[in-house]
Structures are given as structure tokens and as C-alpha cells.
């Protein structure tokens, strides 16, 4: 048996924008997935709404990427869900997002209608390609501070990562986008669709880059998928820390641990990229675990775990893309503008 911990998420509470007999509308924090998926189970919007607010059997009207914050709507009954789905199908739902991008975005309205193709469903990686699905996004600049621009986005279709991919294609990627604002896309970072890599090379480069930066948790994949992406050349660090994560069935704690009955090849990929091999860890007199000369915080819910993971900073869990407003024939829900979208905002 092996056990593993869910990746860290923000401690920001769910903000309720509306709740009545038909719907629940929240302002979703960044870093939380909508549904339990991959390595996320307890740390998901659906789980938190059910456990902490007794809101169960909700129907998702639309979805937001894990790193995207903002307006998120749930229906309380299948009848309401069907009614709102019909508005989506007829494109009667107006969606408005806000983001902060690299560089000076044009002052005039920009329309991007480049088709988008999914490179990997496991990672959720996409790119512009003539063989992709039709898309349309309208962009309007709100402000520019000399380095970055705040831009409103109006997606008329709902493709995966549509806003992020279109902004990358235009040459103005979201400032802290871990997928579409990296050097793996080439010197122009994918501007104009100029990539210079095959899809396989692109995917492998992305995974290896995030491993080297100890940021694999930014990619929405489970560790078992790593080997299928980067082949047999799994970094030795992952193999070492996997051995330290093995426990006996009697030692597996409840709570935030996820159990797996599979060992063998998949067991070599069970720990976080931030883990420290067990032979490099030590215990203090009161039983706390630390690595080398620097003491780290150990998960208090897991007495058996001997893996150390440093806590990320709040900025590491936020991407500057926010669902600001959703409007239908019978409703309109808005959230406040996030702090990073204010004109006088300064990056810390």
C-alpha cells in the first residue's frame, strides 16, 4: 500500500454571491478544482460545499479551470440545470473575464478567432491549430502600468483554456500562467503559433520544466501519468522519494490521504516533487521531522508520513485570470474585481 497527500490549495474561503431555492453562486478561489479529480478530492469546490455547507447533489452549470477564480454557478435541481444548459447551448449566456497579461495590450478592441486543438487531455494542454475547434474571444484593454496590462475578455465559445491560448497566440500571455507563459514554447513563447516542437516534444518539455522548478503540482496530472508522458527516463529523485512514501495498510491514516492498492511501477511515482528522501530527513526531540539544517513544517494530520513538502506562498497558488460576470436571460451574477486587476496594483 502507498499513500499520498493532496497538493496544497489556498486557505481562502468560498464567498457566496447568491443562494436560493434554485441555484448556488460562489466566487471560487484560485487553485481549487470544481470537482474531485486527479490528486484533488477533499480540496475541491463540490466536496467543500457538501461537507462544510451541506449543499449536496448540485449540478454544475459551467466550469472554471483550477487556477481560474471567479463566478461559479450550480443548480439545485435537474430542472433548473436543463433550463440554464439550454441558454448555454443557444449561446444566450454572456461571460466576462478579467486578466493581467505581459506587455502593452492594444488599446483598440481585439478579436481572436483562431481554432484550438487539445494537445493532451491529461495535462489539459492546448494550442492554436487549423485542425482545432472554432473559437471566438473579444478582448478590451482596461489599463497598462508600464509592464503589464489588465484586459477584459469576452469568450463567445467555451473551449478548454480558450482565453489563455488566444492571449498566448496574440503575444500577450497571462503574467503567471504556468502552461502558456513558459520558454518551452520557444523564444516567442508561442506567439503567432510559432512553436517549433511536435506535440510530444512540447508535452515532455513542459513536464520536465515543472519538475526542475519543483512545481509539478501546477500541472493537473497524477504521478502515475508522468511515465507515460516522459517515458522511462523518470528522474531518480522521484524514485527515491517514492520509496519513502510506502506504508503498511495498518499505518494509513484517514483524512487527507488517498490510498492506492497499486505498487510496482506506479509506486515509483507516488510522492510530490517537493519531497525529500527519507535518508535525508531527521527528527527533533519532540518528534518533528526536518531536512538538513532547515526545519520544515510536517503535516500534523499524518503521523506516518516521512516526506517534507515546503508550503507554497499565496502567490504560487494564484493565476491572474478571473470570471467576473455571468449573465443569462433571467439572471446576472458579478464578483468584485480581484486585487491584482486594480489599476494601482503593485506586484509583491
- Say if 260 falls within a structural domain: yes
Residue 54 lies in a domain: no
Can you give the residue range of the structural domain that contains 232? 216-308
Residue 97 DSSP SS3? strand
Work out the percent of the chain whose per-residue pLDDT is above 70. Answer: 69
Q: Which residue has the higher pLDDT, 270 or 322?
A: 322
* Cell triple for 23: 441555484
Q: Is 191 exposed, middle or buried (0-12, 13-18, 19+ CB in 10 A)?
A: middle
Q: How many domains does the chain have?
A: 1
User: Pick the residue with more confidence: 264 or 183?
Assistant: 183
The one catalytic residue in 65, 177, 220, 225 is 65
Is residue 62 in a domain? no
Residue 112 domain flag: no
Please give the Cα distance from 40 to 44 (Å, whole number): 6
Q: Average the pLDDT over 311-326 and give the result.
A: 87
pLDDT of residue 204: 85
**Could you tell me if 298 and 288 are in contact, meaning their C-beta atoms sit under 8 angstroms apart?**
yes
- What average pLDDT does this structure show over 198-212? 81
Q: What's the mean pLDDT in 233-242?
A: 45
Gap between the Cα atoms of 222 and 328, Å rounded: 36
DSSP-based three-state secondary structure for 125: strand
Q: What integer pLDDT is reported at residue 255 of this predicted model? A: 32
Respond yes or no: is residue 21 known to be catalytic: no
Residue 245 lies in a domain: yes
182, 189 contact by CB (below 8 A): yes
User: What's the CA gap between 21 and 19, in Å, rounded?
Assistant: 7
Q: Give the pLDDT confidence score for residue 111 in this predicted structure.
A: 98
pLDDT at 68: 95
Query: What pLDDT was estimated at residue 27?
Result: 97
pLDDT score at 64: 93
Amino acid at each position: 500500500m502507498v499513500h499520498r497527500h493532496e497538493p496544497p490549495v489556498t486557505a481562502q474561503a468560498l464567498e457566496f454571491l447568491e443562494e436560493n431555492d434554485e441555484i448556488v453562486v460562489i466566487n471560487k478561489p484560485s487553485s481549487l478544482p470544481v470537482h474531485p479529480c486527479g490528486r484533488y478530492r477533499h480540496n475541491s469546490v463540490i466536496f467543500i460545499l457538501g461537507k462544510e455547507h451541506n449543499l449536496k447533489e448540485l449540478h454544475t452549470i459551467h466550469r472554471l479551470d483550477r487556477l481560474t477564480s471567479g463566478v461559479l454557478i450550480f443548480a439545485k435541481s435537474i430542472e433548473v440545470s436543463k433550463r440554464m444548459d439550454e441558454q448555454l447551448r443557444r449561446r444566450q449566456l454572456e461571460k466576462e473575464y478579467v486578466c493581467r497579461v505581459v506587455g502593452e495590450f492594444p488599446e483598440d478592441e481585439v478579436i481572436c478567432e483562431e481554432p484550438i486543438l487539445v494537445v493532451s487531455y491529461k495535462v489539459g494542454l492546448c494550442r492554436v491549430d487549423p485542425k482545432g475547434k472554432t473559437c471566438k474571444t473579444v478582448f478590451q484593454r482596461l489599463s497598462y502600468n508600464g509592464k503589464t496590462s489588465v484586459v477584459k475578455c469576452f469568450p463567445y465559445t467555451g473551449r478548454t483554456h480558450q482565453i489563455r491560448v488566444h492571449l498566448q497566440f496574440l503575444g500577450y500571455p497571462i503574467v503567471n500562467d504556468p502552461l502558456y507563459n513558459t520558454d518551452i514554447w520557444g523564444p516567442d513563447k508561442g506567439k503567432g503559433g510559432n512553436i517549433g516542437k511536435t506535440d510530444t516534444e512540447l508535452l515532455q518539455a513542459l513536464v520536465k520544466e515543472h519538475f526542475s522548478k519543483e512545481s509539478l503540482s501546477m500541472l493537473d496530472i497524477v504521478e502515475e501519468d508522468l511515465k507515460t508522458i516522459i517515458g522511462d527516463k523518470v528522474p531518480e529523485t522521484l524514485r527515491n522519494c517514492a520509496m519513502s512514501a510506502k506504508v503498511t495498510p495498518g499505518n494509513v491514516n484517514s483524512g487527507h490521504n488517498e490510498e492506492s492498492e497499486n505498487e510496482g511501477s506506479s509506486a515509483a511515482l507516488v510522492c510530490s516533487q517537493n519531497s525529500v528522501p527519507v535518508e535525508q530527513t531527521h527528527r527533533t526531540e519532540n518528534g518533528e521531522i526536518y531536512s538538513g539544517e532547515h526545519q520544515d513544517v510536517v503535516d500534523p494530520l499524518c503521523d506516518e508520513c516521512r516526506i517534507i513538502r515546503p508550503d507554497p506562498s499565496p502567490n504560487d497558488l494564484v493565476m491572474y485570470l478571473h470570471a467576473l460576470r455571468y449573465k443569462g436571460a433571467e439572471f446576472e451574477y458579478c464578483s468584485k474585481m480581484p486585487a491584482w486587476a486594480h489599476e494601482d496594483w503593485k506586484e509583491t
